[in-house]
Amino acid sequence: MATEATAAPVHANLLATLCEGRERILREIRKVIIGQDAVVNDVVAAFFAGGHCLITGVPGLAKTLLISSLGRAMDLTFRRVQFTPDLMPADITGTEVLEEDRATGSRKLVFRPGPIFTNILLADEINRTPPKTQAALLEAMQEHQVTVSGTTYPLKEPFFVLATQNPIEQEGTYPLPEIQQDRFMFSLLIDYLPKAQEIEVIDATTSAAGAQPDVCMTGGELIEYQRLIRRLPVAEPVIAYAVSLAARSRPTEAGAPDFIRDYVSWGASIRASHYLVLGAKARAALAGRPHVSVQDVGSVAYPVLRHRIITNFRAESEGISSEEIIKRLLQAVSPPKSGL
* Residues engaged in binding another protein (CB under 8 A): 24, 27, 58-62, 80, 82, 84-87, 91, 99-100, 102, 105, 112-113, 124-125, 128, 166, 168-169, 192-193, 195, 198-199, 201-203, 205-212, 214, 216
Of residues 172 and 339, the one with the C-beta less far from another protein? 172
Expressed in angstroms, the distance from the first to the final Cα of the chain is 28
Of residues 60 and 319, the one with the C-beta less far from another protein? 60
Of residues 167 and 255, the one with the C-beta less far from another protein? 167
For 204, the 3-state DSSP assignment is helix
CB of 336 to another protein, least distance (A): 39
| 227 Rama class: left (phi>0) / alpha (psi -120 to 50) / beta | alpha
CB of 241 to another protein, least distance (A): 35
CB of 289 to another protein, least distance (A): 24
Nearest to 51 by CA among 281, 310, 290, 297: 281
CB of 224 to another protein, least distance (A): 20
C-alpha span between 129 and 318 (Å, rounded): 31
C-alpha span between 219 and 138 (Å, rounded): 22
CB of 202 to another protein, least distance (A): 4
Of residues 85 and 233, the one with the C-beta less far from another protein? 85
C-alpha span between 50 and 159 (Å, rounded): 8
Of residues 201 and 239, the one with the C-beta less far from another protein? 201
Consecutive H or E run containing 53: strand 53-56
